[in-house]
Amino acid sequence: MKLFGTDGIRGKFGESPINHDELVKIGHAFAKSLFDTKAGKILISNDGRESSSAIEEALSLGIKHQGSMVFFIGLYPTPALSIYLNSTAQSSEMRAGIQITASHNPYYDNGVKFFDNNGHKINSNFEVTIENNYFSCNENIKEQYDRSSKSDDSDLFEKHYVDYIDDYFRLKMDNIHHTGDKFNILVDCANGATSKIISKILNNSFINLIPIFNEPNGKNINEKCGATDTNMLKSFISEFNANSSDYKKNIEKKKLKIDLGVAFDGDGDRAIFISPSGEEINGDEVLYILATFHKNNNNVESVVGTQMTNFGIQSLYKKNNIKFIETQVGDKYVLNEMIKSGSSFGGESSGHILVPVFDNYYVGDGIITLINLLEVIFKQEKNINSLKKEITSIPSKLFNIKVINKEKFIEDAQNIKVTKDLKKMLNEEGRILLRPSGTENLVRLLIEHRNPKQIEILSEYFYDNINKNTIV
């Protein structure tokens, strides 16, 4: 049995493995894998779900039983935790981090992501070590510890991230002298981890960040908002730019033009962009924009994407003499391949973009992705619409299929036959990809075809012919 999926451990709160008893063992296994019998320090932050405090309590019980200390940061983006650990890695203290989050999943799901002393997500080998310690744990961990005595001042962590972001923005905007009106960005915080931080960054710049969906209540994270559902963001941009009303539907009319929209996911490591005209710019397109810009300036030779990267964009890399390196879905796999190949840029269609920041540290951060895109816009003096027009991708559609069992769905003889039939029907005009989700009980079907009408025909054939006993 495996605990880990594509990105940490994830599931419905209250069910295995995201329940109290198993989380206690997970906390203990993580601390033991890190520090053995020595005492370290583990920082814990969360994305604002209502189950976060219960998960913190369970994890801390296991960690403290091992002998280590726990410091609670509170609402904090996942990449901010990573950045803090990396920035303080030279400290002699043994430390690591845990982010309590289920990323883009609904509020009733939750999970944990683990980071080492350098702020990197733990690798697959370390995941195996944790699993071994977890399954071999026979200790009865019931002792209650004082949580408050091990709490830290969250304001210090918040200031660290704000200062880091502002410094990075100044670095990227060097030699840019913006005059006239501020550049207005409508920011969808997904009622998640970026909600608290967004009003505190870039305040002394020519950027005006206007937050929406920035009032987390524990249950509204990713609910009809965020990187996985940009419909409301598109609607609000349309309203703003039509001078109809502000996003809160106040009576007062607003004369405010939105220059760009951005939607983060629940824990703040993904970003999807919306143009003033309502067009979506996904992770594949952003990665291409960044790679081609820096190729012209810094001699970028390769870029890392995944098996989900649009085939049309893969062809564009070839035309621009940029090597495209494919890896499996998951930002940790992208990062590993970036380090291996020496690539400066990598990412996923979902909006996970990894770039080098200070001291060539690679980070996947929605806000940092935004800053990198702004650098291209202002240094090339192009708006996002014109950048979008330079990209020719093949029409595609991603279908998320709820299944009873992911592995059995993929291995089912009837479903295998249907998949083969679809590939024959493509006539070399597109491609299909069927893969189990690493974070949810879903199977994802990607269909790409030069004719968008054919995508609908192929999807109908798929749904009409798959084994109905394998789906929910």
The residues annotated with a catalytic role in the active site are 103
Are 41 and 152 within 8 A, CB to CB? no
Are 447 and 458 within 8 A, CB to CB? yes
To the nearest 10 degrees (0 to 180), the angle between helices 154-172 and 78-87 is 90
The phi and psi torsions of 132 (rounded to 5 degrees) equal -65, -45
Residues in the chain: 472
**Which is nearest to 470 in space by CA: 393, 422, 413, 419?**
413
**Which is nearest to 186 in space by CA: 214, 221, 154?**
214
Radius of gyration of the chain (CA): 23
Q: End-to-end alpha-carbon separation of the chain, Å?
A: 23
Pairing relation of β-strands 430-436 and 95-100? unpaired
- CA atoms of 210 and 369, how far apart (whole Å): 17
Tell the burial category of 317 from Cβ atoms under 10 Å away from its Cβ (0-12, 13-18, 19+). buried
DSSP string, 212-281: ES----SS-TTTT-STT--HHHHHHHHHHHTTS--TT--SS-------EEEEE-TTS-BEEEE-TTS-EE
- CA atoms of 146 and 148, how far apart (whole Å): 6
Q: Which two tokens stand for residue 229?
A: 């559902």
**Which is nearest to 366 in space by CA: 114, 106, 189, 221?**
189
